[in-house]
Structure formats: C-alpha cells, structure tokens
C-alpha cells in the first residue's frame, strides 16, 4: 500500500542537501489533508504554545501533534509546497503556504536542533493564529455557518417529527471510529472515504432491518475527519422507548457489532456516550418522554447541534460528498385515534 506522512517522506532525502524533494500529486493531496487537519486541531486547542514539558498553558514538544506539525513544516519547506496550486484552495492551506514561502529560503539544516524546531513550530502556530483572522477566513466561516444552519433546521424538524409520532423515545449517542493513526500515514483518502461509507451502509442495514435490535425509529449521523482519530462517525440512534429500554446495553451491542462484524482486521473502535451519562450536566440521551421539554431541548440544542457542526477537513477531502445523514420517518396522522397522551 502506498503510504505517506511527513515522517516517512522526510526519510527520502538528506536535510543537509540543497536539492528539492519531488512528491506525487497523491502525496501532495494527502499532505494537504494532514495540514488542514492539524491546523484545525491547533485552532480547537486555542493555539497552544509548545514547550519541553507540558503545562496548563503549553503542550509538550514530544507530543504526536507537535512532531507531525514539525514534520509537515519541514517537508513543506523542502518540497516547496507553497508553489503548488492546491495550496490556494483552502484558507488554512493559504495561510500555511504563506508561512512556508517566508521561511523557505533559510537553510533547513539550521532547524535540526530541538530548540530550532521548537521555535519554528511555535512561530508557525503564531503566524497561523494571526493570519486566520483575515477577512477571507471570516467569509469562509460565515459560509460554513450558513450551511450549518440549514442542517440544524432540518435536524430539529426531524426530531420534532419523531416527538409527535412517539410518546417515548430512547436515544443512544455513539461514535463509530477506527484504530488511532490508521489513516495518518495514508494518501489514499478517496479510497478510504468509499470504504468508510460502505461500512456505514452495512451498519445502517443492520440497524434499519432490526438485525441487532428491533424498533429503531430514526438516526442522525455525521462523518468527520480529525488529525488523531482519522475518519469517524458521530451518531444518534433513536428507538421506540415504549418498546425498548436499557440504552447502555443496547449502545454496547451496537458498538460491538461495528467492531466485530463491520470493520475488518480488528481496526474498529467505538465510544458509547450513554455509558458515561453521569458526566453530562444536562441529559439529552437515554429515555425521553414526550412531555419532558427540558430533555428535548438538550437533545436538539446540544446533542443534535453538535452532530451538524461543519468539518473543515471533510469539506476539503470530499467537497461534493455528503457527510451528514438522517433517517426517514413518517409524518404523524392528523386524526389519531385512541386515548389522548397523559403525563404519567
């Protein structure tokens, strides 16, 4: 398999030599994905300063994030990645490319010592933090928020429809993921996206056909890519709460099916959020009755809103691919027969 990471690529040349490194289009694409992913991680961490030892205000220089960031900078300088057209296709890449362009004429061998590399990484992080406040970046984020609001409205309407159809629901929040680092050294991202989506289709079939647990009434799902976790799904699975209980047990059953029957070679992972309900100050998972307004508010405005947030990396990897999915539920009958709902 053709693999790529800044660490592997750096082994292909001598840092003391002056010639440039040539990398393929596939490697460039993989390189750019990792740049976007790691800069998104730094932004989420509020631009930490790297130091020899970790503290409340800094991150450890020996962390995987720091090592990979350093490798991406060094490789970008040597391969003159700033001259590639693809670097102008995303605000993160444009800012990173500008930093590479500024420092590329310096002797890369001067960055071999720990303190020099440490200084280079911190300077790049600081440069990115300042550059990302540009008008272009703010416009990029505005477009993302606009698209997100459409998904929010759609997801909220979906939850309202389910609430109108069922007197009690059982909500399971679960993440379906993969072995840590599985995608970190690969440039075959298009192929990976196809495999990851194919595996979700298998999982969806098991859910909708009741192969694992019957009485599922809906789901909301988002595909995401992050620097450390790679591809993963954030999912909300909704069952008829009048027919199903034991959300923690069922969440575990779903996760074990993903690990043992869907993802091959033992590379599947999962996290059952319902198993850690005591960690949440406000609860929007588990069993929810139709009259529990506060729980429905948490479900919609915290749980669901998290599921529909934009992902910079996926929008770069597959700009024309769907990454947000939800099930289909029938509209409730306007003239339903039977005894009216009562609070128990």
> What is the domain-level CATH number for residue 162?
3.30.70.1130
**Pair 96, 193 in one domain:** no
Could you report the per-residue pLDDT of 134-187, keeping only the tens digit for each?
A: 777 788 888 878 878 888 999 999 999 999 999 999 999 999 999 988 887 666
> Are residues 283 and 205 both part of a single domain?
yes
pLDDT of the residue at 202:
96
89 and 222 belong to one structural domain: no
Contact between 124 and 39 (Cβ < 8 Å): no
Q: Examine the domain organization and report whether 113 and 172 are in the same domain.
A: no
Residues 38 and 114 in one domain: yes
205 and 112 both lie in a single domain: no
Whether residue 168 lies inside any domain: the answer is yes
Note the pLDDT of residue 101.
86
Tens of pLDDT along 184-207? 766 677 788 889 999 999 999 999
Query: Does the residue 221 lie in any domain?
Result: yes
Structure confidence at residue 31 (pLDDT): 87
The answer to whether residue 337 sits within a structural domain is no
In a domain, 97, yes or no: yes
Residue 161 lies in a domain: yes
Q: Which DSSP string corresponds to 152-199?
A: HHHHHHHHHHHHHH-SEEEEEEEEEEE-TTTTTTB--HHHHHHHHHHH
Which stretches in the chain have pLDDT values below 70? 1-23, 53-59, 61, 105-116, 185-187, 330-344
Query: In which domain, by residue range, is 229 found?
Result: 150-326
Residue 120 sits in the same domain as residue 159:
no
Residue 58 is assigned to a structural domain of this protein: yes
Same domain, 173 and 52: no
**Is 331 a member of any domain?**
no
Domain assignment present for residue 144? The answer is no
With residue 236 as reference, give the H or E element that holds it: strand 230-240
Residues 154 and 128 in one domain: no
Q: Are residues 71 and 176 in the same domain?
A: no
Cα–Cα dist 206/204, whole Å:
5
Q: Considering 98, 133, 168, which residue would you say is the last residue of a domain?
A: 133
Identify the pLDDT of residue 208.
Answer: 92
The pLDDT score that the predictor gives to residue 108 is 46
**What's CA 35's distance to the chain center, in Å?**
14
Measured CA to CA, the distance from residue 185 to residue 8 in angstroms comes to 8
Sequence-distant contacts of 270-278: CB under 8 A, at least 24 apart = 270/174, 270/175, 270/176, 270/177, 271/174, 271/175, 271/177, 272/172, 272/174, 272/248, 273/172, 273/173, 273/174, 273/175, 274/172, 274/173, 274/174, 274/247, 274/248, 275/248, 275/251, 277/248
Residue 81 near residue 75 (C-beta atoms within 8 A): yes
Number of domains in the chain: 2
CB 171 within 8 A of CB 237: yes
**160 shares its domain with 106:** no
287 and 163 in a common domain: yes
For the beta carbon of residue 300, count every other beta carbon within 10 angstroms.
18
State residue 207's pLDDT score.
Answer: 95
């Amino acid at each position: 398999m053709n693999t790529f990471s800044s660490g592997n690529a750096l082994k292909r040349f001598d840092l003391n030599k002056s010639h440039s490194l040539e990398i393929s289009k596939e490697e460039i694409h993989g390189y750019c994905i990792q740049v976007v992913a790691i800069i998104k991680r730094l932004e989420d961490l509020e631009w930490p300063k790297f130091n020899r030892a970790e503290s409340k205000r800094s991150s450890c220089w020996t962390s995987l994030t720091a090592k990979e960031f350093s490798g991406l900078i060094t490789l970008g300088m040597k391969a003159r990645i700033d001259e590639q057209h693809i670097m102008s296709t995303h605000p993160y890449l444009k800012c990173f490319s500008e930093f590479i362009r500024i420092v590329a004429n310096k002797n890369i061998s001067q960055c071999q010592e720990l303190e020099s590399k440490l200084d280079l990484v911190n300077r790049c992080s600081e440069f990115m933090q300042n550059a990302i406040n540009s008008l272009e970046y703010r416009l990029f984020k505005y477009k993302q928020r606009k698209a997100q609001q459409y998904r929010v409205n759609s997801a909220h309407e979906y939850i309202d429809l389910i609430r109108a159809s069922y007197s009690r629901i059982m909500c399971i929040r679960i993440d379906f993921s993969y072995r840590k680092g599985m995608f970190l050294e690969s440039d075959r991202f298009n192929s990976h996206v196809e495999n990851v989506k194919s595996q979700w289709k298998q999982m969806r079939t098991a859910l909708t056909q009741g192969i694992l647990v019957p009485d599922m009434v809906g789901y909301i799902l988002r595909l995401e890519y992050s620097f450390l976790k790679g591809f993963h799904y954030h999912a909300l699975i909704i069952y008829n709460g009048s027919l199903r209980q034991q959300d923690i047990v069922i969440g575990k059953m779903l996760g074990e099916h993903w690990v043992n029957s869907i993802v091959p070679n033992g590379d599947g992972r999962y996290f059952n959020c319902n198993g850690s309900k005591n960690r949440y100050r406000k609860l929007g998972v588990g069993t929810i009755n139709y009259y529990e307004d506060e729980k429905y508010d948490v479900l919609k405005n915290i749980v669901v809103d998290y599921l529909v947030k934009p992902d910079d990396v996926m929008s770069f990897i597959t700009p024309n691919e769907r990454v947000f999915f939800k099930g289909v539920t029938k509209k409730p009958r306007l003239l339903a027969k039977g005894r009216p709902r009562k609070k128990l």
